[in-house]
Structure 1
Amino acid sequence: MFLDELTPIVQEILGQPGAFLGGFTSALLKLNLGDDPVKSWLENQGASAPNQDDSDDSSGKGPQTISID
Structure 2
Amino acid sequence: METNDVWKEFLSHPVPFCGGLLSGLLGLDIKQDPLRSWLESQGLMMEDKSSSGEGPKSISIE
TM over 0.5: yes
Unmatched 5+ stretches in structure 1: none
State the structure with more CA Rg.
1
| Partner of residue 7, structure 2 | 10
1:47 aligns with 2:40: no
* TM norm structure 2: 0.69
| Partner of residue 68, structure 1 | 61
Higher RCO (CA < 8 A, seq sep 6+): 1
Percent identity, aligned pairs only?
42
Structure number having the greater helix percentage: 2
Unmatched 5+ stretches in structure 2: none
**One-letter code of the match for 1:44?**
S
The aligned length equals: 60
